[in-house]
Amino acid sequence: MQTLALRLYGENDLRLERFDLPQPNDDEILAEIVSNSICMSDHKAAAQGGKHKRVPDDCATNPIILGHEFCGRLMQVGRKWRDQFKPGQKFAIQPALSMPGREHLAPGYSYPHIGGHATHVIIPAEVMERGCLLPYNGDAFFKASLAEPVSCIIGAFKSNYHYQAGTYVHEMNIRPGGAMAVLAGAGPMGLSSVDLALHGAIRPGVLVVTDIDQGRLDRAASIFTPAEAAGLGVALHYVNTAAAADPVAELRALTAGGKGYDDVFVFAPVAPLVEQASALLGLNGCLNFFAGPTKTDFSARMNFYDVHYMGHHVVGSSGGNMEDLQDALRLMGDDKINPAVMVTHVGGIDAAADTTIRLPSIPGGKKLVYTHIALPMTAIADFAAQGQTDPLFARLDEICVRHNGLWSFEAEQHLLAHAKPLAG
C-alpha cells in the first residue's frame, strides 16, 4: 500500500512524499486517515526536529510522520485483533502511550509509519496493546480529530479539586453549582471549556468568560448564548476586561455576595492574568493554569495569605488520559458537545507543512487538514470572499452560515465530495 505523508527530517524540514508502507504484521492494522488537526505541539516538534523529546534523534535518515490528532477508517485488521476491530470502523487514537522506559513514544512524533498527516498508516502493536485505538461512532471525521484537545479540557476539569472543612479528602472536578471563570476564554480551547461547562455532567451555577477582544467575545456569545445557558441553569456572562476600570472588582461582583470563584481557568500564559486569577478566588478556590508557557522561568505573584487562610490552591493541566479521550468521543458521538467551536481554518494535506511551520503567526483556532484533498489553508471567515471566484468555497460558505459560522458534518461531506483529490 502506498501512502502520501508529511514527513519530518529535521528542524523545519517537512516533506510531503509518497512511499510504500510495509505489509502489516498480524498484530498491526492498516488504516486510512481522513482528517487531522494541527496542534501547537506539532509546530514545536517541527521547529526542534530530532531535539524534540518525542522525535527520534535519527529522523534525518529515518523520518517520522507528523500529526497526532487524527481520525479515519480501519482497512485491514491483523489476525490478533479481529475479534475486537473490523474493517470500515471509524477510529481515533490516544497518542500518549505511557510505555515504561519509553514515556515519550507517541504516534505523530516517533513512528515512520503512523501519523495524522498521511493518507494511509500502519497502527503498530504498541498502540493496540495499550488499548490506545478507540472506536468512534460519530458522524463527522473532524470531531474525532479534535477528541484529543477536547480530552485535555475534560482532564482539566477533573484536575480541579475542593475539600470540606475539617477533612483531608479532595473532591475532584469543578464545584457543582459553583462560580467558574474562564480567563482569556474566547479562543478555541476556552470555547471548548464553555461547551463542556454548559453541556457536561457537572455544571457551575455562574460562568464568566473574559477576553480583551470584543469581537471574539461577541462571537463566543453568538455560539453559546446567555439565554441558552440560563435554560441549563447557568448564569453566563461575557466580560471585556480591557474595558473595565477594575476587572477584579467587576468580576467578583458577578458572584454571590462578591465572595469570588470556586474555579478559575487561565487560558493564556500571561503573568498579570495569573495574578488576576489569584485575586478572583473565593474560599477554597482552585486556580487551573491551563496555558502552557514556553519560558522555563515563567512566574507570577500569588497571595499566600489567602493560600493559608482561604485555602487557595493551584493545579496545572495540559493533557487528558485514556478515560478523558473516551469521554470526549462519547460526548461528541452523543452530540452533547460540538468541537467545531475550535475550528477556524480548513485545508488539504498540501497545506500542512507551511501551516505547521507558521502556526504561531496564523490567527484563529484549530487548523483542520483533510489528507486526501488539495486545498490552501483557508479561514472559514474567508469562504465568502473566496467563493466569489470558486464555487466550492461559495457552497462551503453557504453551509457554514447555516451552521452559525461553524464547520459541520454537512460541510465536511461536501468538501470530501467536491474538493480536488490528491490521491496517495
Residues 6+ positions from 360 with CB-CB distance below 8 Å: 40, 43
The pLDDT of residue 99: 67
Return the HEC string of 372-421. Answer: CEECCCEEHHHHHHHCCCCHHHHHHHHHHHHCCCCCCHHHHHHHHHHCEE
User: Do 224 and 251 meet the contact criterion of CB atoms below 8 Å apart?
Assistant: no
What is the distance between the alpha carbons of residues 109 and 215, in angstroms, rounded to a whole number?
Answer: 36
What is the distance between the alpha carbons of residues 364 and 203, in angstroms, rounded to a whole number?
Answer: 27
The pLDDT of residue 291: 86
- Among residues 125, 65, 132, 66, which one has the least CA distance to residue 94? 132
Return the HEC string of 159-174. Answer: HCEEECCCCCCEEECC
C-alpha cell at 147: 477528541
Residues 6+ positions from 84 with CB-CB distance below 8 Å: none
What is the CB neighbour count within 10 angstroms for residue 83? 8
Torsions phi, psi of 359, nearest 5? Answer: -50, -45
What is the distance between the alpha carbons of residues 286 and 95, in angstroms, rounded to a whole number?
Answer: 28
Contacts 24+ apart (CB under 8 A), 293-296: 293/269, 294/269
C-alpha cell at 416: 470530501
The pLDDT of residue 9: 98
C-alpha cell at 293: 508557557
Helix (H) or strand (E) holding 198: helix 188-199
C-alpha cell at 199: 453541556
Specify the DSSP class assigned to residue 21: P
Instruction: Give strand ranges (E) for 39-184.
Output: 64-65, 70-77, 90-93, 120-123, 133-135, 161-163, 170-172, 179-183
Number of Cα atoms under 13 Å in the Cβ half of residue 61: 2
User: Do 86 and 77 meet the contact criterion of CB atoms below 8 Å apart?
Assistant: yes
User: Do 196 and 299 meet the contact criterion of CB atoms below 8 Å apart?
Assistant: no
The pLDDT of residue 423: 58
Number of Cα atoms under 13 Å in the Cβ half of residue 150: 33
User: Do 355 and 347 meet the contact criterion of CB atoms below 8 Å apart?
Assistant: yes
Residue type, 130: R
Specify the DSSP class assigned to residue 255: S
Check: pTM over 0.85? Answer yes or no: yes
Residues 6+ positions from 298 with CB-CB distance below 8 Å: 269, 271
What is the CB neighbour count within 10 angstroms for residue 329? 24
Domains by residue range for the chain, with CATH: 2-145+338-418 (3.90.180.10), 149-316 (3.40.50.720)
What is the distance between the alpha carbons of residues 199 and 232, in angstroms, rounded to a whole number?
Answer: 8
What is the distance between the alpha carbons of residues 353 and 356, in angstroms, rounded to a whole number?
Answer: 5
Cell 515519550 belongs to residue: 104
Q: What pairing do the DSSP bridges indicate for beta strands 235-240 and 261-266?
A: unpaired
What is the pLDDT tens value at each position of the chain, 424 positions in all?
999 999 999 999 999 999 999 999 999 999 999 999 999 889 999 999 999 999 999 999 999 999 999 999 999 999 999 999 999 999 999 888 876 766 678 999 999 999 999 999 999 999 999 999 999 988 999 999 999 889 999 999 999 999 988 888 999 999 999 999 999 999 989 999 999 999 999 999 999 999 999 999 999 999 999 999 999 999 999 999 999 999 999 999 999 999 999 999 999 999 999 999 999 999 999 999 998 887 889 999 999 999 999 999 999 987 788 899 999 999 998 889 999 999 999 999 999 999 999 999 999 889 999 999 999 999 999 999 999 999 999 999 999 999 999 999 999 999 999 999 985 4
SS3 150: helix
